Amino acid sequence: MVPMQHPAMPIALEAVATAMSITRAVQHRLQEVSGHLKDDRSPVTVADYAAQAVVSMLLREGLSDQGLRRIVGEEDGGELSRPNNAALLDAVTAAVRLWRGDVSQAQVLEAIDACNHDASGDCWWTLDPVDGTKGFLRGGQYAIALGLIVDGQVHAGVLGCPNLSVDPGKDPAAADSEGSGMLYGAQQGLGAWEFRDGDPAATPMRITCPAWTDDKSIRCCASVESHHTNKGQTSELLDAFENDRIMVRLDSQAKYAVLARGQADAYLRLPTRDDYRECIWDHAAGALVATEAGAVVTDVRGKELDFTTGQRLQNNRGVIAAADGLQQRLIERAVAMGVGSP
């Protein structure tokens, strides 16, 4: 049995699993959706809104504690409710009806708008309904990420990776179109667990990120999009090691899952601009899954990620997540290089 003692975890797992199935359905109909709405980016917009609506509905219906019903969501329903977006709202509602056939447009908008918490207080969720926009559009990796923040700490996290293969021997950057994806759950101090086929009712398996030693190669995950990480500094940082290097570029917090289950040794997200700070929903769930699997996650200066500063990690610069034994050496090199310094 999974030691998921928090009463919200079963609901959170169900919510993310449901969102996974809906977003996969939209992704499989990319051309149809974009053609209907005359917009090549509209499929991910539909998936974003639909996933947020579903997660919001399930959390609000399944949890009575008001603190556990507060959500900091990435999407805002105000734009969706405008008259010129009527066709988009129709498409979003149709996607949600794949799960609940009698849902109304008003209920969809209400659920999306309920995710408007300001990241204050002692307890709330942060949600990224589709993390990895470009990955979604290219038919690659993306994630649904839901993290529970309690007293400034990520207390629980659920990460859905709809296109990640159950086989850890396969290239994690390659989408598994035949499977149903992988679902991950973690609680602070209680480990990280994997549910195959995105099924929260499946028998879970505990996952671990093995410690790294000098005799190993470095399998490093990094973002596909150049504006997400400094590729030049990434190469310079890794050049400090004589070990063989294997670079894997994929989108979204699926990188955290790949690290957590021992399919990679590091995930580097080095700052590209002095003024940029990471959004909390881009890291909360994934960072906890990786940490509870045994990896070490900090910013590029070795500081713990601070979730007490609103919707962005204002006290942190970038992220270095890696297996124990490697992460500390990466931080040493990053500090020596001045990565993240003004």
Assess whether pLDDT exceeds 80 at residue 185: yes
Assess whether pLDDT exceeds 80 at residue 36: no
Least confident residue range of 4-8, 143-147, 250-254: 4-8
**Which is more confident, 342 or 143?**
143
Domain shared by 48 and 97, yes or no: yes
Q: What percent of the chain has pLDDT over 90?
A: 81
Can you tell me the mean pLDDT for 181-207?
96
- Residue 301 forms part of a structural domain: yes
pLDDT score for 41: 67
pLDDT band with cut points at 50, 70 and 90 for residue 32:
confident
Domain shared by 225 and 202, yes or no: no
Domain shared by 202 and 222, yes or no: no
Return d(Cα 17, Cα 29) in angstroms, integer. Answer: 19
pTM, rounded to two decimals: 0.94
List the structure tokens of 310.
């609103």
Least confident residue range of 1-10, 21-30, 160-169, 301-310: 1-10
Assess whether pLDDT exceeds 80 at residue 31: no
Bridge-based pairing of strands 71-73 and 123-131 is parallel
Q: How many CB atoms lie within 10 A of CB 29?
A: 16
Can you tell me the mean pLDDT for 11-19?
97
Give phi and psi for 107, each to the nearest 5. Answer: -70, -35
- Reported in sequence order, the residue ranges of the chain that DSSP labels E, i.e. its strands, are 71-73, 123-131, 143-150, 153-161, 182-187, 191-196, 205-206, 218-222, 245-249, 266-269, 296-298, 319-322
Can you tell me the mean pLDDT for 230-251?
91
Q: With CA atoms as reference, report the closest residue to 16 among 80, 99, 118, 79.
A: 99
Distance of CA 225 to the CA centre of its chain: 16
pLDDT score for 30: 79
pLDDT score for 145: 98
Number of structural domains (the chain) is 2
Least confident residue range of 1-15, 31-45, 108-122: 31-45
pLDDT score for 284: 98
List the structure tokens of 91.
């498409």
Residue where a domain stops, chosen among 146, 178, 206: 206
Return d(Cα 156, Cα 12) in angstroms, integer. Answer: 9
pLDDT, averaged across the chain: 93
Q: With CA atoms as reference, report the closest residue to 125 among 71, 60, 73.
A: 71
pLDDT score for 226: 61
Assess whether pLDDT exceeds 90 at residue 37: no
Give the catalytic positions in this structure.
48, 133
- Give residues with Cβ within 8 angstroms of 91, minimum separation 6: 33, 36, 37, 42, 46
Assess whether pLDDT exceeds 90 at residue 218: yes
Domain shared by 38 and 143, yes or no: yes
- Residue 116 forms part of a structural domain: yes
pLDDT tens digits along 47-60: 999 999 999 999 99
pLDDT score for 230: 74
Domain shared by 149 and 173, yes or no: yes
pLDDT band with cut points at 50, 70 and 90 for residue 38:
low
Domain shared by 159 and 265, yes or no: no
Domain shared by 200 and 72, yes or no: yes
Can you tell me the mean pLDDT for 263-267?
97
Return d(Cα 127, Cα 262) in angstroms, integer. Answer: 25
pLDDT band with cut points at 50, 70 and 90 for residue 178:
confident
Assess whether pLDDT exceeds 60 at residue 4: no
Residue where a domain stops, chosen among 147, 174, 206: 206
Least confident residue range of 121-130, 225-234, 243-252, 286-295: 225-234
Domain shared by 36 and 170, yes or no: yes
What are the distances in angstroms from CA 223 to CA 232, 235, 281?
A: 13, 13, 16
Return d(Cα 202, Cα 23) in angstroms, integer. Answer: 20
Q: For residue 280, what are the domain limits?
A: 218-337
- Residue 3 forms part of a structural domain: no
Q: What percent of the chain has pLDDT over 70?
A: 96
pLDDT band with cut points at 50, 70 and 90 for residue 1:
very low
CATH of residue 32's domain is 3.30.540.10
pLDDT score for 340: 83
